Chain A
Amino acid sequence: MLRDSQNRALSSRRTFLVAGGASTVACADRRPRLNVFNWSAYIDPAMIERFETERGVRIRYGTYESNEEMLARVMSGNSGWDVVFPTHSRLGPMATHGLLARLDHGRLPGLAGLDSRFQQPVWDSELHWAVPYMWNGTGVAYNSKLVAGVEAWSALWRDDLRGRMTMLDDPEDVLGVCLLKLGMPFSSVDERQLQAAKAEAIRQKQYLRAYLNADVRDQLVSGDVLAAELWSTTTAQAIAGNAALRFAWPTEGFPLYCDCAAILRESTRYELAHEFLEFLLQPDVAAANARVAVTATANRAGQSADPVLYPPGEVYARGFWPPALPPAAQRYRDRLWTEIKSA
């Protein structure tokens, strides 16, 4: 059926094959390797090279865009990855599921360099499972030239911004924000509260342009979008492109997320993986990574004075670290999310 149209490049195909075969051989590499799976744009590439030259090893570095994407791969326990960077609330379930290796603190003296807030975090008080790496919060990013008076989540229901606002494409965050706006807890498992939040989300949908994650950054910079529920990190990156952008840490409270470096139990490179984690804890490495990724480091070293990345004490106090949702609540929320999306 497609015959008339498709054509042949047999000779060039053969050339390709020969060239391909030759360079595959050239690529063979005897150095020990470590497979690292991290969020995209979340490290200074120069630091990977430095680790490789200093230790004489090779890092295979892969990236993902969401926890779910990472989890889908590592869930089977034979993904081939050694080090992954789950968000704090995923650590508990992953550990319960037997996916994570216990950390050996003897190999991680750099832990002492962590910011005091991350020495004994609520999600992993003895740092059994993961080393806090970078953190950020969800708030409202807005264009201060065209929008004023954004302090609370309720700004994302404003009629005058109709069609110029976005929410994150994430069920936990959207339902959580609706709950906060209604004065209820972000991680509520109460079905009546969740139903109210769903109604609020459906009401909000008519004002929204779209549900977007990191893609919204450029639309904020260019002025397509005037206000967005967004992560502080992404907002800080957008501000670098458009100085009129601001970030509000909402008055109703806001979730904070910490992405942590963890070693998978399936890993056969337990020692090298620890070396890599210890390397990430070095003050200069942590500073370089935070600077290049434009995000907040969990280390004492390398913190900047940017209030978008590091909210001052009284603002920080309004934040909270959402815990993992119990499976039943998760299931209930998934259904509500489908209802919101297809409303």
Chain B
Amino acid sequence: MKLRFWSLLPARLTGALLLGIPLAVIIAYSLLTRGDYGGVEQPWTLDNWARLADPLYLAIVWRSVWIAGVATLLCAAAGFPVALFIVRSGRWRNVWLQLVLLPFWTSFLIRTYAWIFILRDTGLVNTALTSLGLIHKPLPLLYNDGAVLAGLVYNYLPFFVLPLYATLEKLDTALPEAAADLGATPWRTLRRVTIPLSLPGIIAGSVLVFVPCLGAYLTPDLLGGGKTVMIGNLVQNQFTSARDWPFGSAVSMAVLMLSALSLAAFLRHRTARELL
């Protein structure tokens, strides 16, 4: 048992030093007063937390939850058939899986930048549609919620496919087959057997997509053209141009609590817990 103590020690130390203490500092900051040009000052106050209840900021939180939710649904819609296909593709499984995951290994910034390149007025889509004579003037594809959603789905789709694949892989193939033998249509088998059995994977994938989308700040910044504010942009703005560190800290803590709540909901599923 001594080995267990020593093996956990480095993680305990780094966890406390680099995750625990920073969190404590942020909590302390959220209870202090802003300095005129950044930083924090005495006295201690609850004002920053009270400001969170302001409808202006609640609307931003709601908006972020909504966008992250839609992105998660889109990932589920796009990713579920893919995971199902990969599991059924026999010895090519690994190749397909690698193909889906490969883009994830390239730079996040570059993946986002690629979308600017494609969606702008003189970008690929508009150039193609114009030269085919389908449109006469460019469609406004960039700098709206659609572009932000495209970027989010693009970046986080592998996060959904992977855990789902892991669940489906372990699924007993006899069950859907039995359902089919008993006369269930493929659609009914999917709805009544496959989806319920793969629920842990769906939940794990949803959390892995939802949480980073909720706190996203680069994607809405670069693809949304600064016309939408998500909660991540609010945090970033408070720490930079607004120079209001205490309020920025309070918003950060709020994001963190929302994330922790999603995680807690996820961990309530025992089967999901095993996946992690």
Contact = CB atoms under 8 A, between A and B. Distances in A.
Contact of B244 (A1, A97, A205, A334): A334
Contacts of B56: 335, 338-339, 342
B98 A223 contact: no
Given A75-B38, A209-B140, A342-B63, A5 B97 contact: yes
Contacts of A337: 237, 241-242
Contact of A5 (B98, B138, B244): B98
A222 B116 CA distance: 14
B210 interface: no
A161 interface: no
A341 B38 contact: no
A270 interface: no
A94 B37 CA distance: 8
A327 B38 CA distance: 10
Interface stretch (A35-43, A64-72, A247-255, A311-319): A64-72
B39 A4 contact: no
Interface residues of A, number: 40
Contacts of A334: 237, 241-242, 244
A212 B226 contact: yes
Interface stretch (B128-136, B160-168, B252-260): B160-168
B162 A66 contact: no
A72 B227 contact: no
B14 interface: no
Nearest to A67: B241
B177 to A, nearest CB: 23
A93 interface: yes
Contact of B229 (A4, A5, A338): A338
Interface in A294-343: 327, 330-331, 334-335, 337-339, 341-342
Interface of B: 36-39, 56-57, 59-60, 63, 94, 97-98, 101, 120-122, 138, 140, 142-143, 162-163, 165-166, 169, 204, 224-229, 233-234, 237, 239-244, 275-276
